[in-house]
Amino acid sequence: MKNLHGKASLIPILCLFMITHSLLGSTLFNSTFNHIHNKALNPGSLNPVVWPQQQEVQGTVTDSRGQPIPGVSIQRKGAPGGSSTDLKGYYTLGASAKDTLLFSYLGHQTVTIPVNGHSVINVQLQQVATALEAIQLNAGYYTVTDRERTGSIARMTAASIGQQPVTNPLASLQGRMPGVQITQNTGVPGGGFDIKIRGTNSLRSNANDPLIIVDGVPYATETLGYDQVSGSILPGLGFSPLNSINPADIQNIEVLKDADATAIYGSRGANGVVLITTKKGRSGKTQLMLNAYSGFGEVTHTADLLKTAQYLEMRREAFANDGISPYPANAYDVNGTWDQDRYTDWQDELLGGTAHFFNASASVSGGDAQNRFLLSSGYQRETTVFSGDYRYHKGSVHLNLTHRSPNERFLAQVTASYLTDTNNLPGNDFTSEAQRLAPNAPPVYDEEGNLNWANSTWNNPLRLLEDAYLAKTHTLIANGTLQYTLLPGLMLKTSLGYTENGVKELKTSPSTAYNPAYGVGSESSAAFHNTADQHSWILEPQLSWEQDMDAHHLEVLLGGTLQEQKREQFGQYAYGFSSNSLITNLSAASSVYILNDVDTAYKYAAAFGRVNYQYKGKYLLNLTGRRDGSSRFGSGKQWGNFGAVGAAWIFTEEAWLQNTLPFISFGKLRGSYGLTGSDQIGDYQFYETFSVTGQSYGGVTGLQPTRLYNPDFGWESNRKTELAVELGFFKDRINLSAAYYNNRSSNQLVGIPLPATTGFGSILSNLDATVENKGWELEWHSFNVQALDFKWETGINLTIPENKLVSFPGLESSTYVNQYVIGEPLNIRKVFQYTGLDSETGVYQFEDFNADGLITTPEDRQAVVRLDPDFYGGMSNTLSYKNWQLDFFVQFVKQEGFDYSFQGGRPGGTSNQPLEILDRWQEPGDQKPIQRFTSGGYDAANRAYSNVRSSTHAFADASYLRLKTVSLSFNVPERYLRQVKCRLYAQGQNLLLFTKYKGYDPENQSISSLPPLRVITTGIELTF
């Protein structure tokens, strides 16, 4: 798989692979299966308004071999509440004689049994290949079975998250879901991830984040970090707010993609919705679970750089080419000042360390039919690959309490998580220095062990260790739900959520980071402080009604939202200390400046509703809508309406099909169309204001125009269409789904780039342009082998996305003319067309599009390079044999990226270079990929180098295939243990990478940020 030549080449391979799997799977088919899709809905009775007499029902639930099944859910049909079985498969439940009980358990057929006055009901559940019926998907304001859903909802379970040694929940989703593209920005602990659901909708790069909701409470993804403090170590927006959700506390992550699923989130649903559901208490015997793992991580994919002899050859040749002799006084590397034989592998020196990982967690859960609880706690620690004692660690507590009244009509639930973390890092990432330093640069320490400045001839990279970054955050996410069943089928619910995030960040830059030749002492030491706090509450009353009548089933939901979010941020710069040991203390600074003092409020109100109608369990219609108001818009623009219609037809319910094509066990056609929006523009943007700048002049603090003023912008809108087919074959041994989506974003709300002559770089305005994201999402899931002792499951997902700027009236005369091309994706670069070397002068040549004899921007930057992936996806396999289970997951992306060779300094200059640059022009007549070396003294070559970085020559294949996760676990047989379950496991993340990409990592394609690390851990899990 080292060559990913094109979409065309991979698809047949995948298809072949799928077919082989299915054939292999069917020959090994030897277990009993039950058909599960023939269930028709029983009409419920409508009349009983009087609550019937309750009685106790108890029993045991076993599997087909007579073994007890713990954790089986038992519910009364059409009524709230329920129970579940304990470790011995025993349950107890209050029910009336007229009730019907539903027994459901993942991977087993759901059984429906009328109580009919029985007090003991024992049930045997048959295992099935899949159980679409049993999978209850969280759709936010409601739940829906996988079978009956009309929208596009992808899901990841605790089991898959638990196989990955990650600290950020987003990391666990990489490659796992079609249409969901996640990129890791840095291998430094605490760093962020970019997530895009179904492509780039907004022209503003920072407005493509999905809405993230934890247990019903929106979780702000805007970082509280301050780039002046964290920018040099954590790229992009600093630390990820999602670090504050412990992956071990997550039960499920659902991703909502199409209009049917997202329109109920209205103005915040345009970029998709990520629903995180945390673990809840289960009834039964009190259970204690302990889990711990530890391991290590390292950089595995480094660049091949020049060795000393090659580097010096390059430098000498550069000066010879430029006709410069003798070497300039400041060319220390080559003029004899530095040792000409010395060699340091700076990548190994600066990035070659090992990061240690440790994770421990404990949880207790239990309860009875009325009260259940879960209390869990976790601790996690991660060090860095840099030299020095740096660590990221966090601790968390998670609590869930549920109470049901004995008559089951009232339910109260509280869930709360508190997490605190501390991230202690060097002030700067060493990745850039590791690649740029000359290989013959002096040793980092002198003979006395002090930082070696070599007579001011270089900037010692370890000076960066003097700078330190320290961040402490704490996060509280709490929500309470009160639910009351007024009548059978009619339920009143109110949820109240509160989240609070606080952060303290500090970056210290002591004078010891400077060359002593500057003669600076602690009076020049500086420290940046950032203190930020964000809290938000949300109130969502809801009324839901559910009714069965004959073949009709109707669900209605009405609700409202009130939300308020406040945010404060306070950045300070402290300068001049009497001693460097006091650098963290603001009161010890001779001067303290306020960098920013931000105080914002966001208010949001909405009403929403849903009507779901099903006929005979095979025709499904789902209508959703929302009216939203947001404080982010000016008067008259605050309110907007959004909505969607979704429909599905389960055609395998039709008798004619069952008769003609019996091997199709499940078939559903579904489609949806609707409108969503986006208000991700920040607060107060519509006001014309002056802001306090923090710069003082003559004792007066300055005031500055905040931005260019435009009061008239409104919502961005996104029209989404989806058509999909879901199929199950051979009693659902093989499940296939294919979805086609087409999302059109218009009324684009963008900071329109402006020339600096306007005084600012941009203005916020609605742009009458349309961006289209369309594509195919294909999924395969098969149970290849289902023997008693040996099981093998395979899942494959593939996304073929296409992003296009469909229309842009007036593009030619707009300020975007050199940024976008109609008919091309948004993520493009307009660059020079590289045409080869001038073999006489040895300088890069480019196509002169306007034939004026000059290579100029923008006239000659007409070639288009597309940077979005052509396709991406993943393949997971789960193999279990007796007590062993092996999971492995492969992620793949086909894409074009920034060629590493052209991201650093100019070949011939003072920075080290990749080996590839040796293939260069040396004398007239040479035709090579790399131009003549220059020390900077040859203008034509300087200009050509500046141009080549913005040319087709500077891009290369950045496709990759990564063995992302391997997890091997062993359940210690119970005969060796008493009343304890023990599981031992080993896990690996980012184990192998197959790519033609020459730089560090094709994922973040960065020369300045640490690539994702390879992590290997081993652990143990005990359950009492």
Partner 1 sequence: MTKFHIKRLVGLHGRFLNHFKSYLLLISCIAMLSCDSLVETDIPDSQLLSEGVFEDTTTATAAQLDLYADLRDNTLLTGSSQGITYLMGLYADELDYYMSSTSDPGEFYINALVDSNQYVNLFWDGGYNVIYGANSILEGLKNSTTLSEAEASRLKGEALFTRALVHLYLVNLYGDIPYISTTAYQENSKVSRMPVSRVYEAIIRDLQDAKQLLPEEYITADRIRPNKWACAGLLARVYLYAGKWEQAGTEASAVINQKTLYSLEDNLNNVFLKESQETLWQLSSLSNGYNTLEATRFIFEEVPPPTVALTQELIGSFGAGDLRLQSWVRAVSDGTQTYYHAFKYKEKTNTVTSMEYSVVLRLAEIYLIRAEAFARMGDANGATADLNSLHDRADLPNLSVSEGDLLDNILHERRVELFTEFGHRFFDLKRFEKAQDILGAIKSGWQATDALLPIPQDEFAVNPNLGSQNPGY
Residues 972 to 1001 in contact with partner 1, rule: CB under 8 A: none
Task: Report the DSSP pairing between strands 123-124 and 55-62.
Answer: parallel
Structure token pair of residue 382: 């991660």
**Which lies closer to partner 1 via its Cβ, residue 148 or residue 322?**
322
Q: Give CA–CA dist 711/763, Å, rounded.
A: 11
**Among 5, 7, 342, 943, interactor with partner 1 by CB under 8 A:** 943
Tell the smallest beta-carbon distance from residue 689 to partner 1 (Å).
4
Alpha-carbon distance 422 to 243, whole Å? 11
d(CA 110, CA 108): 6
935 binds partner 1 (CB under 8 A): yes
- Of the residues 346, 469, 604, 713, which one makes contact with partner 1 according to CB under 8 A: 604
Under the binding rule (CB under 8 A), the answer on residue 690 touching partner 1 is yes
Q: Any idea what DSSP says for residue 454?
A: G
Find the shortest distance in angstroms from Cβ 20 to partner 1.
Answer: 47
Q: What is the DSSP letter of 638?
A: S
If one asks whether residue 689 binds partner 1 (CB under 8 A), the answer comes out as yes
Stretch that binds partner 1, among 66-74, 467-475, 659-667, 698-706 (CB under 8 A): 698-706
Select the residue interacting with partner 1 from 534, 676, 910, 1004 (CB under 8 A): 910
- 904: which residues sit within 8 A by CB, 6+ positions away? 435, 436, 911, 912, 913, 914, 1007
Q: What is the CA radius of gyration of the chain?
A: 31
* CB-CB contact of 560 with 606 (8 Å): yes
- Between 613 and 970, CB nearer to partner 1: 613
**Least distance (Å) from partner 1 to the CB of residue 515?**
5
Three-state SS at 260:
helix
Could you say whether residue 524 binds partner 1 (CB under 8 A)? yes
Tokens 């799977």 sit at which residue? 25
Q: Residue 241: helix, strand or coil by DSSP?
A: helix
Site residues for partner 1, 799-818, by CB under 8 A, read: 813, 815-818
* β-strand partners of 903: none
In whole angstroms, give the CA distance from residue 146 to residue 137.
6
The one-letter amino acid code at 138 reads: N
Shorter beta-carbon distance to partner 1: residue 457 or 658: 457
Report the residue number, 6 or 711, with the smaller CB distance to partner 1. 711
Instruction: Select from 83-91, 145-153, 191-199, 682-690 the region that touches partner 1 (CB under 8 A).
Output: 682-690
- Which residue from 774, 872, 753, 893 is spatially nearest to 825, judged by alpha carbons? 774
Binding span for partner 1 by CB under 8 A among 82-90, 348-356, 773-781, 933-941: 933-941
**Stretch binding partner 1 (CB under 8 A), from 348-356, 441-449, 495-503, 909-917:** 909-917
607 binds partner 1 (CB under 8 A): yes
Q: What is the DSSP string of 814-839?
A: STTTTT--TTS-SSEEEEB-EEEEET
Distance separating alpha carbons of residues 577 and 567, to the nearest angstrom: 31
> Among residue numbers 17 through 46, which ones bind partner 1 (CB under 8 A)?
46
Which residue, 498 or 760, is less far from partner 1 as judged by CB?
760
Contact set for partner 1, span 821-840 (CB under 8 A): none
Residues in region 208-247 near partner 1 by CB under 8 A: none
Q: Which stretch binds partner 1 (CB under 8 A): 118-126, 442-450, 467-475, 546-554?
A: 546-554
CB atoms within 10 A of CB 19: 10
Asked if residue 442 binds partner 1 (CB under 8 A), the reply is: no
The yes or no reply on residue 939 touching partner 1 (CB under 8 A) is yes
Min dist CB 716 to partner 1, Å, is 17
By CB under 8 A, name the one of 662, 705, 809, 823 that touches partner 1.
Answer: 705
**Residues 657 and 664 sit within 8 Å (Cβ to Cβ):** yes
| Minimum separation from the CB atom of position 173 to partner 1 (A) | 32
User: Which of 457, 658, 877, 971 touches partner 1 by CB under 8 A?
Assistant: 457
Whose tokens are 């010096």? That residue is 312
Map residue 13 onto helix, strand or coil: helix
Among 12, 699, 853, 925, binds partner 1 (CB under 8 A): 699
Given candidates 1, 16, 24, 598, which one binds partner 1 under the rule CB under 8 A? 598
Interaction of residue 714 with partner 1, rule CB under 8 A: no
What's the rounded Cα separation, in Å, for the pair 250 and 283? 18
CB closer to partner 1 out of 445 and 687: 687
Does 858 help bind partner 1 (rule: CB under 8 A)?
yes
Q: Helices (DSSP H) in 888-990: which residue ranges?
A: 939-948
> C-beta of 199: minimal distance to partner 1 in Å?
24
Q: Of 172, 133, 178, 128, nearest to 153 (Cα)?
A: 178
Q: Tell me the window of 7-15, 207-215, 747-755, 772-780 that interacts with partner 1 (CB under 8 A).
A: 747-755
**Which residue's CB is nearer to partner 1, number 93 or number 769?**
769
The first and second tokens of residue 834, run together, are: 């590289």
Residue ranges in 758-787 that form contacts with partner 1 under rule CB under 8 A: 758-761, 763
Does residue 754 contact residue 708 with C-beta atoms inside 8 Å? Answer: yes
Q: Which stretch binds partner 1 (CB under 8 A): 134-142, 358-366, 687-695, 980-988?
A: 687-695
Q: How far apart are CA 602 and CA 605, in angstroms?
A: 10
517 binds partner 1 (CB under 8 A): yes
Rule CB under 8 A: choose which of 30, 325, 660, 757 binds partner 1. 757
Q: Which of 43, 117, 443, 516 binds partner 1 (CB under 8 A)?
A: 516
Segment interacting with partner 1 (CB under 8 A) among 69-77, 725-733, 752-760, 881-889: 752-760
What span, in angstroms and rounded, lies between the C-alpha atoms of 735 and 256?
Answer: 20
Identify any residues that bridge with 938 across adjacent strands, giving them in sequence order: none
Nearer to partner 1, 833 or 911 (CB): 911
Asked whether the beta carbons of 334 and 324 are under 8 A apart, the reply is no
| 388 is an interface residue for partner 1 by CB under 8 A | no
* Type and span of the H or E element at 628: strand 619-630
Q: Which of residues 635-664 bind partner 1 (CB under 8 A)?
A: 635, 638-639
Residue 455 binding partner 1, by CB under 8 A: yes
Q: Least CB distance from residue 849 to partner 1, whole Å?
A: 14
> Could you say which of 9, 119, 857, 922 contacts partner 1 (CB under 8 A)?
857
Shortest Cβ 525–partner 1 spacing (Å): 12
- By beta-carbon proximity to partner 1, the closer residue of 304 and 523 is 523
- Determine contact, residues 946/888, Cβ cutoff 8 Å: no
Task: Tell me which long-range contacts 375-378 makes (C-beta under 8 A, separation of at least 24).
Answer: 375/399, 375/400, 376/248, 376/249, 376/279, 378/246, 378/248, 378/249
Q: Under the criterion CB under 8 A, does residue 579 sit at the interface with partner 1?
A: no
Is residue 112 a contact residue for partner 1 (CB under 8 A)? no
179 near partner 1 (CB under 8 A): no
Q: Would you list the DSSP string of 11-45?
A: HHHHHHHHHHHHHHHHHT--S-----TTPPPPPPP
- C-beta of residue 643 within 8 angstroms of C-beta of residue 593: no
Among 292, 324, 723, 822, binds partner 1 (CB under 8 A): 324
Query: Looking at the DSSP assignment, which residues form a beta bridge with residue 276?
Result: 214, 253
Distances (CA, A) of 660 to 98, 479, 654, 908, 920: 39, 51, 10, 73, 68
